[in-house]
Copies of this chain bind each other. A is one copy, B any other.
Amino acid sequence: MKAVGIVVEYNPFHNGHLFQVNQAKKITGAEVVVAIMSGTFLQRGEPAIISKWYRTKMALLSGVDLVIELPYCYSAQKAELFANGAISLLSEIGVDFLNFGSESGDIQEFLQFVTFMNKHQTEFDQFVQANMKLGYSYPRAASAAFTQLHTSSTALSLTEPNNILGFHYVKAIADQKCTIKPTTTLRKAAQYHDEDIREGTIASATSIRKLLTSNQLEESKHVMPEPSYQLLKNYQETYSLFHTWEEYYPLLQYKLLSTPVNELRSIYECEEGLEYRLKEASKKADSFHDWMNLVKTKRYTWTRLQRVSTHIVTNTTKIEMNEALNTKPNYLRLLGMTEKGQAYLNKTRKRRTLPIRKPAKVEGIMTELEERAANVYLSILPSHTRTAEMKKEATRSPIRL
Q: Measuring CB to CB, which residues of chain A are less than 8 angstroms from any residue of chain B?
A: 249-251, 253-255, 257-260, 283-287, 313-315, 368, 372, 375-376, 379, 383-384, 386-388, 390-391
The interface residues of chain B lying within 8 Å CB-to-CB of A284 are 387, 391
Q: Closest residue to A285 on the B side, CB-wise?
A: B387
Residues of chain B within 8 A (CB-CB) of A287 are 383
The answer to whether A375 and B314 touch (CB under 8 A), given A386-B286, A387-B284, A387-B285, is no
Q: Which of B257, B313, B375 contacts A372 (CB 8 A)?
A: B257
Can you name 23 A-B pairs with beta carbons within 8 Å? A250-B379, A250-B383, A250-B386, A251-B254, A253-B379, A253-B386, A254-B376, A254-B379, A255-B258, A257-B375, A258-B314, A258-B372, A258-B375, A260-B368, A283-B375, A283-B390, A283-B391, A284-B387, A284-B391, A285-B387, A286-B383, A286-B387, A286-B388
Copy count, this protein chain:
2
Bound form: Cα–Cα A379–B249 in Å: 11
Give the top 6 A-B pairs by smallest Cβ distance, nearest first. Answer: A257-B375, A258-B315, A286-B387, A254-B379, A286-B383, A258-B376
Among residues of B, the one whose C-beta sits closest to the C-beta of A249 is B383
Query: In the complex, what distance in Å separates the CA atom of A161 from the CA atom of B247?
Result: 42
List the B residue with the shortest CB-CB distance to A376: B258
A47 CB to nearest B CB, Å: 14
In contact, A259 and B315 (Cβ under 8 angstroms): yes
Q: How many angstroms between the C-alpha atoms of A297 and B315 in the bound complex? A: 30
Additional A-B contact list (11), CB under 8 Å, known A258-B314, A260-B368: A250-B379, A253-B379, A257-B390, A258-B315, A258-B372, A258-B376, A284-B387, A284-B391, A286-B386, A286-B387, A287-B383
Q: What residues on B are CB-neighbors of A253 within 8 Å?
A: 379, 386-387
Complex CA–CA separation, A287 to B284 (angstroms): 30
Cα(A383)–Cα(B288), bound, Å? 11
Cα distance A376–B249 in the bound complex, in angstroms:
14
Q: Give complex CA distance A255, B254 in Å.
A: 10
A260 cross-chain contacts in B, Cβ below 8 A: 368
CB distance from A294 to the nearest CB of B (A): 11
CA distance A313 to B259 in the complex (A): 11
Which B residues are in CB contact (< 8 Å) with A314?
A: 258
User: Which residue of B is nearest A374, CB measured?
Assistant: B257
**From A246, which residue of chain B is reached at the shortest CB distance?**
B383
CB distance from A99 to the nearest CB of B (A): 36
Complex CA gap A372/B279 in Å reads 12
Q: A384: which B residues are within 8 A, CB to CB? A: 286
Q: Which residues of B contact A372 (CB under 8 A)?
A: 257-258
Query: Roughly how many angstroms separate A379 CA and B251 CA in the complex, as a whole number?
Result: 9
Q: Which residues of B contact A255 (CB under 8 A)?
A: 258
Q: How far is the CA of A368 from the CA of B383 in the complex (A)?
A: 32
The residue on B at minimum CB distance from A394 is: B283
* Residue of B whose beta carbon sits closest to that of A312: B258
Give the distance in Å from the alpha carbon of A283 to the alpha carbon of B258 in the complex.
22
User: Are B257 and A254 within 8 A (Cβ)?
Assistant: no
Tell me, in angstroms, the Cα distance from A375 to B315 when the chains sit together: 19
- Report the minimal beta-carbon distance from A383 to chain B, rounded to whole angstroms: 5
A246 CB, min distance to chain B CBs, angstroms = 9
